[in-house]
Structure 1
Amino acid sequence: MSGRSINSVFYAETYHPIQAGSIDGTDTAPHDNAVYRALLCSSAGLYDPFGDPKAIGDPYCTIFVGRLSHLTTEDTLRKAMSKYGKVKNLRLVRHIVTGASRGYGFVEFETEREMRRAYKDAHHSYIDDSEVIVDYNRQQLMPGWIPRRLGGGLGGRKESGQLRFGGRERPFRAPLQTIPYDDLKRLGIPPPPEGRYMSHYEVPSPPRRKRSSRDKEESSHRRSSIDKEERKHRSSSVEAEESYNIRSYRVKEEHYSERHSVEKEERRYKDSSMDRSERSHRRISPERGGYHHNRSSLDREEHYEKRSPVDMEEPSHKKLRNREERTHKRSSRDRDEGSRKRHKHGSSDKRRREDV
Protein backbone atom coordinates (compact mmCIF):
# COMPACT_ATOMS: atom_id res chain seq x y z
CA MET A 1 0.00 0.00 0.00
CA SER A 2 2.92 2.35 0.62
CA GLY A 3 4.04 2.27 -3.01
CA ARG A 4 0.57 3.24 -4.21
CA SER A 5 -0.36 6.91 -4.28
CA ILE A 6 -3.16 8.06 -2.00
CA ASN A 7 -4.63 9.97 -4.97
CA SER A 8 -5.04 6.81 -7.07
CA VAL A 9 -8.66 5.85 -7.60
CA PHE A 10 -10.77 3.19 -9.29
CA TYR A 11 -14.40 2.97 -10.38
CA ALA A 12 -17.08 0.36 -9.86
CA GLU A 13 -18.02 -1.77 -12.86
CA THR A 14 -20.79 -3.64 -11.01
CA TYR A 15 -22.90 -2.34 -8.14
CA HIS A 16 -22.86 -3.79 -4.63
CA PRO A 17 -24.49 -1.82 -1.76
CA ILE A 18 -21.81 -2.64 0.86
CA GLN A 19 -18.96 -1.80 -1.51
CA ALA A 20 -20.72 1.42 -2.58
CA GLY A 21 -20.82 2.50 1.09
CA SER A 22 -17.04 2.01 1.52
CA ILE A 23 -14.43 4.64 0.71
CA ASP A 24 -11.92 2.06 -0.58
CA GLY A 25 -14.27 -0.80 -1.52
CA THR A 26 -13.04 -3.15 1.22
CA ASP A 27 -15.97 -3.01 3.72
CA THR A 28 -17.70 -6.29 4.58
CA ALA A 29 -20.65 -4.96 6.63
CA PRO A 30 -23.18 -2.14 6.06
CA HIS A 31 -22.38 1.00 8.01
CA ASP A 32 -25.88 2.59 7.92
CA ASN A 33 -29.52 1.55 7.62
CA ALA A 34 -29.82 2.75 4.01
CA VAL A 35 -27.04 0.42 2.89
CA TYR A 36 -28.72 -2.44 4.79
CA ARG A 37 -32.03 -1.69 3.03
CA ALA A 38 -30.33 -1.61 -0.37
CA LEU A 39 -28.65 -4.95 0.45
CA LEU A 40 -32.01 -6.53 1.27
CA CYS A 41 -33.53 -5.25 -2.00
CA SER A 42 -30.54 -6.55 -3.94
CA SER A 43 -30.46 -10.00 -2.35
CA ALA A 44 -34.26 -10.45 -2.59
CA GLY A 45 -34.46 -9.15 -6.15
CA LEU A 46 -37.10 -6.56 -5.31
CA TYR A 47 -35.90 -4.02 -7.83
CA ASP A 48 -36.28 -4.44 -11.60
CA PRO A 49 -34.17 -1.86 -13.48
CA PHE A 50 -36.17 -2.45 -16.67
CA GLY A 51 -39.56 -2.29 -14.99
CA ASP A 52 -39.96 1.48 -15.30
CA PRO A 53 -42.37 2.12 -18.23
CA LYS A 54 -41.14 5.71 -18.56
CA ALA A 55 -37.54 4.61 -19.11
CA ILE A 56 -37.67 4.38 -22.90
CA GLY A 57 -35.06 4.78 -25.59
CA ASP A 58 -31.59 3.38 -26.19
CA PRO A 59 -29.64 3.32 -22.89
CA TYR A 60 -26.30 3.50 -24.76
CA CYS A 61 -27.36 6.86 -26.22
CA THR A 62 -28.82 8.24 -22.95
CA ILE A 63 -27.15 10.33 -20.24
CA PHE A 64 -28.22 11.14 -16.69
CA VAL A 65 -28.21 14.84 -15.73
CA GLY A 66 -28.36 15.56 -11.99
CA ARG A 67 -28.36 18.53 -9.60
CA LEU A 68 -30.58 20.56 -11.89
CA SER A 69 -32.24 23.73 -10.67
CA HIS A 70 -35.90 23.35 -9.73
CA LEU A 71 -36.62 26.21 -12.13
CA THR A 72 -35.15 24.34 -15.11
CA THR A 73 -37.73 23.24 -17.69
CA GLU A 74 -37.63 20.75 -20.54
CA ASP A 75 -37.02 23.49 -23.09
CA THR A 76 -34.08 24.88 -21.13
CA LEU A 77 -32.54 21.44 -20.70
CA ARG A 78 -33.04 20.60 -24.40
CA LYS A 79 -31.43 23.86 -25.47
CA ALA A 80 -28.44 23.26 -23.16
CA MET A 81 -27.92 19.67 -24.38
CA SER A 82 -28.37 20.52 -28.07
CA LYS A 83 -24.83 21.91 -28.07
CA TYR A 84 -23.45 18.38 -27.91
CA GLY A 85 -25.69 16.67 -30.47
CA LYS A 86 -29.18 16.17 -31.76
CA VAL A 87 -31.55 15.40 -28.87
CA LYS A 88 -33.92 12.57 -29.73
CA ASN A 89 -35.83 12.25 -26.46
CA LEU A 90 -35.81 14.04 -23.11
CA ARG A 91 -37.44 13.27 -19.77
CA LEU A 92 -37.32 15.60 -16.77
CA VAL A 93 -38.33 13.62 -13.65
CA ARG A 94 -41.14 15.35 -11.72
CA HIS A 95 -42.99 14.68 -8.47
CA ILE A 96 -45.96 12.40 -9.02
CA VAL A 97 -48.32 14.58 -6.92
CA THR A 98 -47.11 18.19 -7.16
CA GLY A 99 -45.49 17.99 -10.61
CA ALA A 100 -42.41 19.88 -9.39
CA SER A 101 -39.00 18.97 -10.77
CA ARG A 102 -37.01 16.43 -8.79
CA GLY A 103 -33.72 17.96 -9.97
CA TYR A 104 -32.60 15.29 -12.46
CA GLY A 105 -33.51 14.00 -15.89
CA PHE A 106 -32.51 11.76 -18.79
CA VAL A 107 -31.48 12.93 -22.27
CA GLU A 108 -31.32 10.59 -25.26
CA PHE A 109 -29.21 11.53 -28.29
CA GLU A 110 -29.37 10.29 -31.86
CA THR A 111 -26.02 8.49 -31.78
CA GLU A 112 -23.70 7.00 -29.21
CA ARG A 113 -20.92 9.36 -30.28
CA GLU A 114 -23.03 12.38 -29.37
CA MET A 115 -23.86 10.79 -26.03
CA ARG A 116 -20.15 10.30 -25.26
CA ARG A 117 -19.42 13.87 -26.24
CA ALA A 118 -22.06 15.17 -23.82
CA TYR A 119 -20.81 12.74 -21.15
CA LYS A 120 -17.31 14.21 -21.44
CA ASP A 121 -18.02 17.93 -21.95
CA ALA A 122 -21.28 18.64 -20.12
CA HIS A 123 -20.06 17.40 -16.74
CA HIS A 124 -19.85 20.28 -14.23
CA SER A 125 -21.41 22.72 -16.71
CA TYR A 126 -23.95 25.35 -15.61
CA ILE A 127 -27.65 25.33 -16.47
CA ASP A 128 -29.76 28.12 -14.94
CA ASP A 129 -26.82 29.05 -12.66
CA SER A 130 -26.67 25.53 -11.27
CA GLU A 131 -23.63 23.24 -11.67
CA VAL A 132 -24.86 19.90 -12.98
CA ILE A 133 -23.28 16.45 -13.01
CA VAL A 134 -23.51 14.07 -15.97
CA ASP A 135 -23.25 10.29 -15.91
CA TYR A 136 -24.26 7.42 -18.15
CA ASN A 137 -27.54 5.57 -17.65
CA ARG A 138 -26.47 3.29 -14.79
CA GLN A 139 -30.05 2.15 -14.17
CA GLN A 140 -29.98 -0.07 -17.25
CA LEU A 141 -26.27 -0.46 -17.95
CA MET A 142 -24.73 -1.19 -14.53
CA PRO A 143 -25.26 -4.75 -13.22
CA GLY A 144 -26.82 -4.93 -9.70
CA TRP A 145 -27.88 -1.27 -9.69
CA ILE A 146 -30.05 -0.11 -6.73
CA PRO A 147 -31.45 3.46 -6.90
CA ARG A 148 -31.08 6.09 -4.25
CA ARG A 149 -34.69 5.89 -3.09
CA LEU A 150 -34.01 2.28 -2.04
CA GLY A 151 -30.76 3.08 -0.20
CA GLY A 152 -28.37 2.64 -3.13
CA GLY A 153 -27.14 5.07 -5.71
CA LEU A 154 -23.81 6.85 -5.94
CA GLY A 155 -22.43 10.21 -4.83
CA GLY A 156 -24.36 12.15 -2.23
CA ARG A 157 -23.76 15.30 -0.22
CA LYS A 158 -21.56 15.58 2.84
CA GLU A 159 -24.41 17.14 4.85
CA SER A 160 -26.51 13.98 4.62
CA GLY A 161 -23.66 11.74 5.76
CA GLN A 162 -24.85 8.97 3.42
CA LEU A 163 -22.06 9.09 0.84
CA ARG A 164 -21.81 6.46 -1.90
CA PHE A 165 -18.53 5.70 -3.68
CA GLY A 166 -17.43 4.07 -6.89
CA GLY A 167 -19.07 6.53 -9.30
CA ARG A 168 -17.74 9.32 -11.45
CA GLU A 169 -18.24 12.02 -8.83
CA ARG A 170 -16.89 10.00 -5.89
CA PRO A 171 -14.60 7.16 -7.00
CA PHE A 172 -13.07 4.56 -4.68
CA ARG A 173 -9.73 5.40 -3.09
CA ALA A 174 -6.79 3.08 -3.31
CA PRO A 175 -7.16 0.47 -0.51
CA LEU A 176 -6.11 1.94 2.80
CA GLN A 177 -5.88 -1.41 4.59
CA THR A 178 -5.20 -5.05 3.82
CA ILE A 179 -7.79 -6.37 1.38
CA PRO A 180 -9.90 -9.20 2.94
CA TYR A 181 -10.18 -11.30 -0.21
CA ASP A 182 -11.83 -14.28 1.54
CA ASP A 183 -14.60 -12.19 3.13
CA LEU A 184 -15.24 -10.27 -0.08
CA LYS A 185 -15.48 -13.51 -2.02
CA ARG A 186 -17.88 -15.00 0.55
CA LEU A 187 -20.17 -11.95 0.41
CA GLY A 188 -20.00 -11.64 -3.39
CA ILE A 189 -18.34 -8.22 -3.26
CA PRO A 190 -15.98 -7.53 -6.18
CA PRO A 191 -12.43 -6.93 -4.83
CA PRO A 192 -10.40 -3.84 -5.74
CA PRO A 193 -8.44 -4.15 -8.99
CA GLU A 194 -4.85 -5.32 -8.94
CA GLY A 195 -3.77 -3.51 -12.06
CA ARG A 196 -3.17 0.14 -12.86
CA TYR A 197 -5.15 2.73 -10.89
CA MET A 198 -6.45 5.91 -12.45
CA SER A 199 -5.98 9.53 -11.51
CA HIS A 200 -8.88 11.38 -9.97
CA TYR A 201 -8.89 13.71 -13.00
CA GLU A 202 -9.16 10.97 -15.61
CA VAL A 203 -12.59 10.51 -17.16
CA PRO A 204 -13.91 6.94 -16.77
CA SER A 205 -15.25 5.51 -20.00
CA PRO A 206 -18.96 4.52 -20.06
CA PRO A 207 -19.76 0.91 -21.05
CA ARG A 208 -19.91 0.11 -24.73
CA ARG A 209 -22.58 -1.78 -26.54
CA LYS A 210 -22.07 -5.54 -26.65
CA ARG A 211 -22.34 -6.68 -30.23
CA SER A 212 -23.84 -9.97 -31.20
CA SER A 213 -22.40 -12.30 -33.83
CA ARG A 214 -24.86 -10.90 -36.37
CA ASP A 215 -23.80 -7.35 -35.60
CA LYS A 216 -20.17 -8.39 -35.86
CA GLU A 217 -20.82 -9.97 -39.24
CA GLU A 218 -22.65 -6.89 -40.44
CA SER A 219 -19.91 -4.61 -39.16
CA SER A 220 -17.22 -6.80 -40.73
CA HIS A 221 -19.18 -6.86 -44.00
CA ARG A 222 -19.60 -3.09 -43.83
CA ARG A 223 -15.91 -2.68 -43.02
CA SER A 224 -14.89 -4.98 -45.88
CA SER A 225 -17.13 -3.07 -48.30
CA ILE A 226 -15.63 0.19 -47.09
CA ASP A 227 -12.13 -1.27 -47.48
CA LYS A 228 -13.00 -2.42 -51.00
CA GLU A 229 -14.27 1.03 -51.90
CA GLU A 230 -11.14 2.61 -50.42
CA ARG A 231 -8.89 0.20 -52.32
CA LYS A 232 -10.86 0.84 -55.50
CA HIS A 233 -10.65 4.57 -54.98
CA ARG A 234 -6.95 4.28 -54.17
CA SER A 235 -6.29 2.17 -57.26
CA SER A 236 -8.29 4.57 -59.44
CA SER A 237 -6.37 7.50 -58.01
CA VAL A 238 -3.08 5.67 -58.62
CA GLU A 239 -4.11 4.88 -62.19
CA ALA A 240 -5.17 8.48 -62.74
CA GLU A 241 -1.84 9.67 -61.37
CA GLU A 242 0.07 7.25 -63.59
CA SER A 243 -1.91 8.33 -66.66
CA TYR A 244 -1.29 11.95 -65.76
CA ASN A 245 2.43 11.26 -65.40
CA ILE A 246 2.48 9.47 -68.76
CA ARG A 247 0.65 12.34 -70.44
CA SER A 248 2.94 14.92 -68.89
CA TYR A 249 5.98 12.87 -69.95
CA ARG A 250 4.68 12.65 -73.51
CA VAL A 251 3.96 16.37 -73.58
CA LYS A 252 7.46 17.09 -72.29
CA GLU A 253 8.93 14.71 -74.85
CA GLU A 254 7.01 16.36 -77.69
CA HIS A 255 8.01 19.80 -76.47
CA TYR A 256 11.66 18.71 -76.26
CA SER A 257 11.56 17.16 -79.76
CA GLU A 258 9.96 20.31 -81.18
CA ARG A 259 12.54 22.48 -79.45
CA HIS A 260 15.33 20.21 -80.66
CA SER A 261 14.03 20.34 -84.23
CA VAL A 262 13.74 24.14 -84.08
CA GLU A 263 17.30 24.42 -82.75
CA LYS A 264 18.45 22.03 -85.47
CA GLU A 265 16.73 24.14 -88.13
CA GLU A 266 18.30 27.29 -86.71
CA ARG A 267 21.76 25.72 -86.73
CA ARG A 268 21.25 24.49 -90.30
CA TYR A 269 20.10 27.94 -91.37
CA LYS A 270 23.08 29.56 -89.68
CA ASP A 271 25.51 27.08 -91.27
CA SER A 272 23.98 27.62 -94.71
CA SER A 273 24.13 31.41 -94.33
CA MET A 274 27.76 31.18 -93.22
CA ASP A 275 28.56 28.97 -96.21
CA ARG A 276 26.85 31.43 -98.56
CA SER A 277 28.76 34.36 -97.08
CA GLU A 278 32.08 32.50 -97.37
CA ARG A 279 31.32 31.56 -100.99
CA SER A 280 30.38 35.13 -101.79
CA HIS A 281 33.62 36.36 -100.19
CA ARG A 282 35.59 33.82 -102.21
CA ARG A 283 33.95 34.94 -105.48
CA ILE A 284 35.02 38.58 -104.97
CA SER A 285 38.24 39.43 -106.88
CA PRO A 286 41.31 40.87 -105.16
CA GLU A 287 40.97 44.12 -107.13
CA ARG A 288 37.35 44.75 -106.04
CA GLY A 289 37.29 43.29 -102.63
CA GLY A 290 40.83 43.77 -101.49
CA TYR A 291 43.51 41.35 -100.68
CA HIS A 292 42.20 40.31 -97.25
CA HIS A 293 38.85 38.92 -98.45
CA ASN A 294 40.45 35.93 -100.22
CA ARG A 295 42.62 34.90 -97.36
CA SER A 296 41.65 32.24 -94.87
CA SER A 297 41.56 32.75 -91.14
CA LEU A 298 45.04 31.25 -90.79
CA ASP A 299 46.45 33.52 -93.48
CA ARG A 300 44.82 36.48 -91.80
CA GLU A 301 46.44 35.60 -88.50
CA GLU A 302 49.85 35.21 -90.18
CA HIS A 303 49.32 38.44 -92.05
CA TYR A 304 48.45 40.31 -88.87
CA GLU A 305 51.44 38.77 -87.11
CA LYS A 306 53.82 39.83 -89.92
CA ARG A 307 52.52 43.38 -90.03
CA SER A 308 54.80 46.14 -88.78
CA PRO A 309 53.91 48.35 -85.84
CA VAL A 310 53.29 51.17 -88.30
CA ASP A 311 50.70 49.06 -90.16
CA MET A 312 48.96 48.15 -86.93
CA GLU A 313 48.30 51.77 -86.10
CA GLU A 314 44.83 53.15 -86.26
CA PRO A 315 43.51 54.03 -89.73
CA SER A 316 43.07 57.70 -88.84
CA HIS A 317 46.70 58.00 -87.65
CA LYS A 318 47.85 56.18 -90.76
CA LYS A 319 45.98 58.52 -93.05
CA LEU A 320 47.36 61.54 -91.25
CA ARG A 321 50.88 60.14 -91.56
CA ASN A 322 50.45 59.52 -95.29
CA ARG A 323 49.08 63.05 -95.75
CA GLU A 324 52.05 64.53 -93.92
CA GLU A 325 54.47 62.50 -96.04
CA ARG A 326 52.75 63.65 -99.26
CA THR A 327 52.83 67.30 -98.21
CA HIS A 328 56.48 66.96 -97.25
CA LYS A 329 57.35 65.41 -100.64
CA ARG A 330 55.37 68.07 -102.44
CA SER A 331 57.07 70.89 -100.57
CA SER A 332 60.54 69.39 -101.22
CA ARG A 333 59.66 68.96 -104.91
CA ASP A 334 58.51 72.56 -105.10
CA ARG A 335 61.72 73.75 -103.47
CA ASP A 336 63.84 71.78 -105.98
CA GLU A 337 61.92 73.16 -108.92
CA GLY A 338 62.23 76.74 -107.61
CA SER A 339 66.00 76.41 -107.14
CA ARG A 340 66.32 75.00 -110.66
CA LYS A 341 64.37 77.89 -112.15
CA ARG A 342 66.45 80.42 -110.26
CA HIS A 343 69.65 78.76 -111.50
CA LYS A 344 68.48 78.96 -115.15
CA HIS A 345 67.53 82.62 -114.84
CA GLY A 346 70.91 83.44 -113.32
CA SER A 347 72.86 81.70 -116.09
CA SER A 348 70.84 83.49 -118.85
CA ASP A 349 71.49 86.90 -117.25
CA LYS A 350 75.29 86.23 -117.24
CA ARG A 351 75.26 85.38 -120.92
CA ARG A 352 73.42 88.60 -121.76
CA ARG A 353 75.98 90.64 -119.84
CA GLU A 354 78.86 88.93 -121.61
CA ASP A 355 77.27 89.54 -125.00
CA VAL A 356 76.90 93.21 -124.24
Structure 2
Amino acid sequence: MRGGGVGGNNANCVFYAKSYHPIQAGSIDGTDILPHDNAIYRALLCSSAGLYDPFGDPKVKDNGGDPYCTLFVGHLSQFTNQETLHKAMSKYGRVKNLRLIRHIVTGASRGYAFVEYETEREMRRAYEDAHHSIIEGCEVIVDYNRQQLMPGWIPRRLGGGLGGKKESGQLRFGGRERPFRAPLYEPSSLVFS
Protein backbone atom coordinates (compact mmCIF):
# COMPACT_ATOMS: atom_id res chain seq x y z
CA MET A 1 0.00 0.00 0.00
CA ARG A 2 1.27 3.46 -0.92
CA GLY A 3 2.19 5.96 1.78
CA GLY A 4 1.16 9.58 1.99
CA GLY A 5 -2.19 9.30 3.74
CA VAL A 6 -3.30 12.20 5.87
CA GLY A 7 -1.44 12.25 9.16
CA GLY A 8 0.69 9.15 8.74
CA ASN A 9 2.59 6.72 6.60
CA ASN A 10 -0.21 4.71 4.99
CA ALA A 11 -3.74 5.22 3.80
CA ASN A 12 -5.30 3.24 6.65
CA CYS A 13 -4.27 5.90 9.15
CA VAL A 14 -6.94 8.21 7.70
CA PHE A 15 -9.78 5.79 8.39
CA TYR A 16 -11.69 5.47 11.61
CA ALA A 17 -11.47 1.70 11.32
CA LYS A 18 -8.38 -0.18 10.08
CA SER A 19 -10.36 -2.71 8.05
CA TYR A 20 -13.99 -3.16 7.13
CA HIS A 21 -16.19 -5.72 8.81
CA PRO A 22 -19.94 -5.67 7.99
CA ILE A 23 -21.12 -6.55 11.50
CA GLN A 24 -18.87 -4.02 13.21
CA ALA A 25 -20.05 -1.27 10.84
CA GLY A 26 -23.45 -1.57 12.52
CA SER A 27 -22.03 -1.44 16.02
CA ILE A 28 -21.50 1.82 17.87
CA ASP A 29 -18.28 0.56 19.43
CA GLY A 30 -17.25 -2.16 16.96
CA THR A 31 -17.87 -5.04 19.37
CA ASP A 32 -20.99 -6.71 17.91
CA ILE A 33 -20.45 -10.30 16.77
CA LEU A 34 -23.84 -11.31 15.29
CA PRO A 35 -25.64 -9.81 12.27
CA HIS A 36 -28.80 -8.01 13.35
CA ASP A 37 -29.97 -6.59 10.02
CA ASN A 38 -30.74 -8.09 6.59
CA ALA A 39 -28.28 -5.78 4.85
CA ILE A 40 -25.49 -6.75 7.25
CA TYR A 41 -26.32 -10.41 6.75
CA ARG A 42 -26.06 -9.97 2.94
CA ALA A 43 -22.74 -8.10 3.31
CA LEU A 44 -21.40 -10.80 5.64
CA LEU A 45 -22.35 -13.54 3.16
CA CYS A 46 -20.75 -11.58 0.34
CA SER A 47 -17.61 -11.02 2.40
CA SER A 48 -17.22 -14.58 3.68
CA ALA A 49 -17.89 -16.11 0.25
CA GLY A 50 -15.45 -13.74 -1.42
CA LEU A 51 -18.11 -12.59 -3.89
CA TYR A 52 -16.86 -9.01 -4.10
CA ASP A 53 -13.42 -7.98 -5.26
CA PRO A 54 -12.99 -4.18 -5.52
CA PHE A 55 -10.01 -4.64 -7.81
CA GLY A 56 -11.96 -6.92 -10.16
CA ASP A 57 -15.09 -4.73 -10.23
CA PRO A 58 -15.62 -3.54 -13.83
CA LYS A 59 -17.34 -0.39 -12.52
CA VAL A 60 -14.13 0.55 -10.70
CA LYS A 61 -11.95 -0.29 -13.71
CA ASP A 62 -14.06 2.04 -15.87
CA ASN A 63 -13.14 4.88 -13.53
CA GLY A 64 -9.45 4.03 -13.99
CA GLY A 65 -8.40 6.59 -11.39
CA ASP A 66 -5.87 6.71 -8.62
CA PRO A 67 -7.67 5.77 -5.38
CA TYR A 68 -5.22 7.93 -3.41
CA CYS A 69 -6.44 11.01 -5.30
CA THR A 70 -10.14 10.10 -5.41
CA LEU A 71 -12.94 11.20 -3.10
CA PHE A 72 -16.48 9.96 -2.59
CA VAL A 73 -19.08 12.75 -2.63
CA GLY A 74 -22.51 11.82 -1.30
CA HIS A 75 -25.92 13.33 -0.51
CA LEU A 76 -26.05 15.04 -3.90
CA SER A 77 -29.30 16.42 -5.28
CA GLN A 78 -30.92 14.24 -7.93
CA PHE A 79 -30.80 17.30 -10.17
CA THR A 80 -27.02 17.78 -9.84
CA ASN A 81 -25.30 17.11 -13.15
CA GLN A 82 -21.63 16.50 -13.96
CA GLU A 83 -20.98 20.10 -15.01
CA THR A 84 -22.40 21.54 -11.78
CA LEU A 85 -20.47 19.06 -9.64
CA HIS A 86 -17.26 19.66 -11.62
CA LYS A 87 -17.59 23.42 -11.08
CA ALA A 88 -18.24 22.99 -7.33
CA MET A 89 -15.37 20.55 -6.77
CA SER A 90 -12.90 22.50 -8.92
CA LYS A 91 -12.75 25.14 -6.17
CA TYR A 92 -10.48 22.79 -4.22
CA GLY A 93 -8.11 21.70 -6.98
CA ARG A 94 -7.77 20.46 -10.53
CA VAL A 95 -10.36 17.75 -11.18
CA LYS A 96 -8.84 15.02 -13.33
CA ASN A 97 -11.88 12.74 -13.56
CA LEU A 98 -15.43 12.88 -12.26
CA ARG A 99 -17.95 10.05 -12.28
CA LEU A 100 -21.53 10.81 -11.26
CA ILE A 101 -23.21 7.49 -10.50
CA ARG A 102 -26.49 6.96 -12.32
CA HIS A 103 -29.24 4.32 -12.15
CA ILE A 104 -28.57 1.70 -14.80
CA VAL A 105 -32.17 1.65 -16.08
CA THR A 106 -33.56 5.16 -15.58
CA GLY A 107 -30.33 7.15 -15.88
CA ALA A 108 -31.29 9.23 -12.84
CA SER A 109 -28.57 10.32 -10.45
CA ARG A 110 -28.02 7.96 -7.51
CA GLY A 111 -26.95 10.92 -5.34
CA TYR A 112 -23.23 10.21 -5.18
CA ALA A 113 -20.09 10.58 -7.25
CA PHE A 114 -16.36 9.90 -7.32
CA VAL A 115 -14.05 12.84 -7.95
CA GLU A 116 -10.39 12.30 -8.83
CA TYR A 117 -7.92 15.16 -8.39
CA GLU A 118 -4.56 15.65 -10.09
CA THR A 119 -2.63 15.34 -6.79
CA GLU A 120 -3.11 13.95 -3.28
CA ARG A 121 -2.64 17.45 -1.88
CA GLU A 122 -5.67 18.72 -3.82
CA MET A 123 -7.67 15.67 -2.76
CA ARG A 124 -6.84 16.32 0.92
CA ARG A 125 -7.84 19.97 0.54
CA ALA A 126 -11.20 18.94 -0.91
CA TYR A 127 -11.60 16.30 1.83
CA GLU A 128 -11.24 18.97 4.51
CA ASP A 129 -12.97 21.94 2.87
CA ALA A 130 -15.77 20.43 0.76
CA HIS A 131 -17.25 18.31 3.56
CA HIS A 132 -20.68 19.71 4.53
CA SER A 133 -20.57 22.25 1.71
CA ILE A 134 -23.78 23.08 -0.15
CA ILE A 135 -24.18 21.99 -3.79
CA GLU A 136 -27.52 22.86 -5.40
CA GLY A 137 -29.24 23.20 -2.04
CA CYS A 138 -27.96 19.92 -0.58
CA GLU A 139 -25.36 19.54 2.16
CA VAL A 140 -22.88 17.00 0.80
CA ILE A 141 -20.57 14.62 2.60
CA VAL A 142 -17.06 13.97 1.36
CA ASP A 143 -15.01 10.92 2.28
CA TYR A 144 -12.10 8.87 0.99
CA ASN A 145 -12.63 6.30 -1.75
CA ARG A 146 -12.63 3.37 0.66
CA GLN A 147 -13.47 0.83 -2.02
CA GLN A 148 -9.85 0.32 -3.07
CA LEU A 149 -8.14 1.47 0.12
CA MET A 150 -9.93 -0.27 2.99
CA PRO A 151 -9.33 -4.03 3.32
CA GLY A 152 -12.54 -6.07 3.33
CA TRP A 153 -14.71 -3.26 1.93
CA ILE A 154 -18.22 -4.22 0.82
CA PRO A 155 -20.18 -1.48 -1.01
CA ARG A 156 -23.59 -0.24 0.06
CA ARG A 157 -25.31 -1.89 -2.92
CA LEU A 158 -24.31 -5.27 -1.44
CA GLY A 159 -25.40 -4.43 2.11
CA GLY A 160 -22.11 -2.91 3.32
CA GLY A 161 -20.86 0.63 3.40
CA LEU A 162 -20.63 3.20 6.14
CA GLY A 163 -22.91 6.06 7.08
CA GLY A 164 -26.63 6.36 6.70
CA LYS A 165 -29.06 3.86 8.11
CA LYS A 166 -29.50 0.14 7.66
CA GLU A 167 -32.76 -1.41 6.52
CA SER A 168 -33.93 -1.65 10.13
CA GLY A 169 -33.27 2.06 10.67
CA GLN A 170 -30.25 1.49 12.91
CA LEU A 171 -27.31 3.81 12.21
CA ARG A 172 -24.02 2.60 10.72
CA PHE A 173 -20.68 3.47 12.31
CA GLY A 174 -16.95 3.45 11.51
CA GLY A 175 -16.84 6.38 9.09
CA ARG A 176 -16.22 10.09 9.14
CA GLU A 177 -19.74 11.09 10.17
CA ARG A 178 -20.15 8.45 12.88
CA PRO A 179 -16.79 7.09 14.03
CA PHE A 180 -16.66 4.13 16.41
CA ARG A 181 -16.94 5.16 20.04
CA ALA A 182 -15.02 3.67 22.91
CA PRO A 183 -16.56 0.39 24.10
CA LEU A 184 -19.41 0.85 26.53
CA TYR A 185 -17.74 -1.73 28.73
CA GLU A 186 -14.39 -3.45 28.83
CA PRO A 187 -14.85 -6.97 27.36
CA SER A 188 -12.04 -8.34 29.56
CA SER A 189 -13.75 -7.03 32.72
CA LEU A 190 -16.86 -9.16 32.23
CA VAL A 191 -17.19 -11.96 34.72
CA PHE A 192 -19.50 -14.80 33.90
CA SER A 193 -20.71 -16.99 36.72
Give TM class, smaller chain.
0.7 to 0.9
**Aligned-partner SS, 1:82:** helix
| Equivalent residue, structure 2, for 1:47 | 52
Q: CA deviation at 1:167?
A: 0.4
Q: CA deviation at 1:55?
A: 3.0
**Aligned-partner SS, 1:93:** strand
**Aligned-partner SS, 2:62:** coil
Is the counterpart of residue 168 in structure 1 residue 173 in structure 2?
no
Report the Cα distance in structure 1 between the residues aligned to 2:116 and 2:36, rounded to whole angstroms: 36
Q: CA deviation at 1:179?
A: 2.4
| Equivalent residue, structure 2, for 1:142 | 150
Is the counterpart of residue 11 in structure 1 residue 19 in structure 2?
no
Q: CA deviation at 1:150?
A: 1.0
**Aligned-partner SS, 1:16:** coil
Q: CA deviation at 1:98?
A: 0.8
Q: CA deviation at 1:137?
A: 0.4
Structure 2 length-normalised TM: 0.84
Query: CA, structure 1 residues 159+34, in 2 after alignment: closer, same or farther (shift >3 Å)?
Result: closer
Contact kept in structure 1, 2:30 and 2:180, CA below 8 Å = yes
| Superposed counterparts of 1:211-230, under 5 Å | none
Contact kept in structure 2, 1:122 and 1:134, CA below 8 Å = yes
Report the Cα distance in structure 1 between the residues aligned to 2:36 and 2:188, rounded to whole angstroms: 17
Report the Cα distance in structure 2 between the residues aligned to 1:64 and 1:112, rounded to whole angstroms: 14
**Aligned-partner SS, 1:97:** coil
**Aligned-partner SS, 1:83:** helix
Contact kept in structure 2, 1:59 and 1:141, CA below 8 Å = yes
Report the Cα distance in structure 2 between the residues aligned to 1:159 and 1:132, rounded to whole angstroms: 22
| Equivalent residue, structure 1, for 2:106 | 98
User: Gapped runs of 5+ residues in structure 2?
Assistant: 1-14
Report the Cα distance in structure 2 between the residues aligned to 1:82 and 1:179, rounded to whole angstroms: 47
Is the counterpart of residue 32 in structure 1 residue 37 in structure 2?
yes
Is the counterpart of residue 70 in structure 1 residue 75 in structure 2?
no
Report the Cα distance in structure 1 between the residues aligned to 2:119 and 2:99, rounded to whole angstroms: 17
**Aligned-partner SS, 2:42:** helix
| Equivalent residue, structure 1, for 2:67 | 59
Contact kept in structure 1, 2:165 and 2:172, CA below 8 Å = no
Contact kept in structure 2, 1:154 and 1:163, CA below 8 Å = no
Contact kept in structure 1, 2:38 and 2:167, CA below 8 Å = no
Query: Identity of aligned pairs, percent?
Result: 80
**Aligned-partner SS, 2:80:** coil
Structure 1 length-normalised TM: 0.47
| Equivalent residue, structure 1, for 2:3 | none
Aligned match of 1:81 in 83, 86, 89?
Answer: 89
Query: CA, structure 1 residues 28+160, in 2 after alignment: closer, same or farther (shift >3 Å)?
Result: closer
Is the counterpart of residue 152 in structure 1 residue 164 in structure 2?
no
**Aligned-partner SS, 1:104:** strand
User: Gapped runs of 5+ residues in structure 1?
Assistant: 1-9, 182-356
Per residue, is there more helix in 1 or in 2?
A: 1
Query: After superposition, what is the alpha-carbon deviation per residue over 1:300-342, rounded to whole angstroms, capped at 9, x for unaligned?
Result: xxxxxxxxxxxxxxxxxxxxxxxxxxxxxxxxxxxxxxxxxxx
| Equivalent residue, structure 1, for 2:122 | 114
Report the Cα distance in structure 1 between the residues aligned to 2:178 and 2:86, rounded to whole angstroms: 27
Contact kept in structure 2, 1:68 and 1:103, CA below 8 Å = yes
Q: CA deviation at 1:178?
A: 2.5
Q: CA deviation at 1:37?
A: 1.2
Contact kept in structure 2, 1:88 and 1:110, CA below 8 Å = yes
Query: CA, structure 1 residues 36+108, in 2 after alignment: closer, same or farther (shift >3 Å)?
Result: same
| Equivalent residue, structure 1, for 2:8 | none
- Which structure would you say has the larger RCO, counting Cα contacts within 8 Å and 6 or more residues apart? 2
Larger-gyration structure (1/2)? 1
Report the Cα distance in structure 2 between the residues aligned to 1:114 and 1:144, rounded to whole angstroms: 27
